[in-house]
């Protein structure tokens, strides 16, 4: 179990990474898909690992 302070720091880093990625897309004139935004939010909250997010997003787009 992580101490609360460590968890909050990691959560903040994840949220920052999601914001950076979203900002990068928008700078290119793009927007994330609804599913990508939802999965990114789950990642930022700590519900998913980066590997899980990637696998779920790839599976979604391959099935489409």
According to CATH, the topology of domain 4-63 is Helicase, Ruva Protein; domain 3 (1.10.8)
CB neighbour list of residue 18: distance below 8 Å, 6 or more residues apart: 40, 41, 43, 44
**Token match 């950076």: residue?**
20
Return the SS3 of 41.
Answer: helix
Greatest C-alpha distance within the chain = 41
pLDDT for position 2: 81
Q: Looking at residue 11, what is its pLDDT?
A: 93
Residue range 13-63, pLDDT digits in tens: 999 999 999 999 999 999 999 999 999 999 999 999 999 999 999 999 999
Burial 26-52 (b: 16+ CB within 10 A, else e): eeeeeebeeebeebbeebbeeebeeee
Q: Which pair of tokens denotes residue 64?
A: 């489409």
Residue 42: what pLDDT? 97
């Amino acid at each position: 179990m992580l101490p609360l302070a460590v968890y909050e720091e990691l959560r903040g880093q994840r949220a920052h990474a999601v914001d950076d990625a979203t900002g990068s897309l928008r700078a290119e004139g793009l927007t994330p898909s609804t599913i990508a935004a939802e999965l990114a939010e789950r990642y930022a909250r700590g519900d998913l690992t980066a590997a899980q997010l990637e696998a779920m997003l790839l599976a979604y787009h391959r099935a489409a």
